[in-house]
Amino acid sequence: MFKRHQSIYYKSDNINYIELNDNCIIHIKPIDNTIARIYFTDNTNYPIEVPTDVKLFDSNKIEQKPFLNNFLIVYFENYTLYYQNTLLLKLTSQHLQKLIVKDGFQTGVIDSDV
């Protein structure tokens, strides 16, 4: 079972983290509006190499290889991260856009099931 965690907002400087074990923390930090990086530190926040038993896959089940001890991810793709061959987390794109319309224009939603 998975518990819901906060969203990764690519337009902020917030860093999400998951404590993998006593000496490894996974960090997810936005780089810009479309790219974030997943990197690893020890419990003193010192950068470490990607553990060999951590694997990241995209939605096509293609393994993503680390680049300079980071996994680079984009907001419009879905990912799964495995630790010791067990699914640890899912990163799912929400494919949302905010609709902002000038005052004076009527807006609505047409149900596509009609």
What is the distance of C-alpha 9 from the center of its chain? Answer: 9
Per-residue pLDDT, 23: 92
Q: Which pTM value belongs to this model?
A: 0.81
Per-residue pLDDT, 94: 76
Contacts of 76 (CB under 8 A, 6+ apart): 34, 93, 95
Per-residue pLDDT, 111: 72
**pLDDT band at residue 103 using 50, 70 and 90 as cut-offs:** confident
**pLDDT band at residue 7 using 50, 70 and 90 as cut-offs:** confident
Could you read off the pLDDT of 38-87 as tens digits, one per residue? 999 999 999 999 999 999 999 999 999 999 999 999 989 999 999 999 99
**Residue ranges covered by each domain of the chain:** 1-114
What's the sign of the alpha-carbon dihedral 77, 72, 24, 6?
A: negative
% pLDDT > 90, the chain: 53
Contacts of 91 (CB under 8 A, 6+ apart): 8, 28, 73, 78, 79, 80, 81
**pLDDT band at residue 10 using 50, 70 and 90 as cut-offs:** confident
Per-residue pLDDT, 8: 76
Average pLDDT over residues 14-31: 90
